[in-house]
Amino acid sequence: MRPRVRFAPSPTGYLHVGGARTALFNWLYARRHGGTFILRIEDTDVERSSADMVTAIFNSMRWLGLEWDEGPGVGGPHAPYFQTERLDKYRGAARALAESGRAYRCFCKPDDLKAERAAAESAGGTWNYDRRCFKLAPAEIAARVAAGAPHALRFLVPGGKTTFDDLVHGTIEFENLNIEDFVILRSDNYPTYHLSVVVDDVEMQVTEVVRGDDHISNTPKQVLLYQAMSAPVPRFAHVPLILGPDKKRLSKRHGATSVGEYEAQGYLPEAMVNFLALLGWSPGSGDQEVFTRDELIARFTLEGISGGNAVFNPEKLDWFNQQHIMRMPADAILDRVRGDLAAAGLWRDRFATSDRAWMGRVIDLVKPRAKKLADIVPQLRPFIEDRIEVDPAAAQKHLSAPDLGPHLAAWRDALARVEPFDAATLEAALRATAETRGIKAGVLIHATRVAVTGRAVSPGIFDVLELIGRERVLNRLA
């Protein structure tokens, strides 16, 4: 059977980079083996879930290129894929477990149990539910039900041990004595996480469950539910958590944590996918770090996932982004920054037609200096606008010498005559002018850069002059 894996976010917030990494691992595994990637929305936390968060999760998934094979908007043989639309399935499964003696009614008030737990823990002890309702006589249970007493359903944990083989951590074993009889259906008739996730995974025929390390403690309860339902237990792979540079769990204090924030900051989805894939997974031998999506698919294995926590390094993400920008064709970059150019008042329709080749040359010139797509737009301004703003500090440093005027005038005269107007010829002309006037070439180079671009730094100035064009260069020097 080809693998069937799922990503099941709760729409109580935006798609966090940790969730995105989990989704990516599932997606890569499905693509590598010709399997099915399922998206399921676990929205049974009705108070905290929202339609806006659902939309945001969809948008972030699509931006990353993690299209799903089954799920919302796509459909599939196991629809619906929102848990709030599947409540009858969970309630039916809970009743079946109760009828088979694997679950029992619990009439205890949650607040009372919470208080008992708190008291035990404050005294330095531990607390597990003592099965007091399991011990009720059948007549007492029937009377309470007939009187309409609210009650939950608890799973009856058997004795012995629960063991599963984790593809990342190896064999993991839990003593059932330490697993309390957990609630599977609350008194409000809503399922708990453990029941709903297992019912869905059984019906959707999930073969591998790839999720974060923080779910390891949930796994024995879910294994017991699979077994109680006489369903095959999927293989588990618990992936390491993502930590900040301070080795603490990644949070807002480390900067952006949602995928949407990185998209807004001008990161490429290709770079984010590459970066996330290497957070806790190794492609094997070799020192290659920059991968295309297809290369990641070809190399990905669950066995390559590391058992140690991964560190989210923003500087490394910037490096990946720069590497992918460098590898991206100028036409593709132009298409992606078109909206930003328009928002900055810099878009011209001719960039898509007659000037597209010229614009491509400009983008290729400036992109080595861009860590993000957002860095490209301001660098394009001197090439697009007729008038530029000059940085006062740069002007003070490179344009304020009292004897500079005659030198620039001579250089401008040379520029007016030079043929062809290309980088190599321009460089030769500048150096000849500087030599004739007995000054260092750098004096003219720095002054020209500030006068023509408004800045003290730029790509190679002679390439810049060629692409800006003779007329605008002469005007700015004047």
- Please give the full DSSP string across 261-301, using - where no structure is assigned: HHHHTT--HHHHHHHHHTSSB---SS------HHHHHHH--
- Within 10 angstroms of residue 54's Cβ, the number of other Cβ atoms is 16
Residues in the chain: 478
| Exposure string for 448-468, b = 16+ CB within 10 A, e = fewer | bbbbbbbbeebbebbbbbbbb
3-state secondary structure of 390: coil
Amino acid identity of residue 263, one-letter, is E
Q: Quick one: the chain helix, strand, coil %, rounded to 5?
A: 50, 10, 35
Amino acid at 382: P
User: Which is it for the CA torsion 366, 367, 373, 375, positive or negative?
Assistant: negative
Instruction: Give the span between the Cα atoms of 253 and 459, in whole angstroms.
Output: 35
Local structure of residue 340 (DSSP, 8 states): H
Residues taking part in catalysis: 252
* CA proximity to 334, closest of 318, 319, 317, 350: 350
Which are the contacts of 413, defined by CB distance < 8 A and separation ≥ 6?
none
Both structure tokens of 460? 């190679």
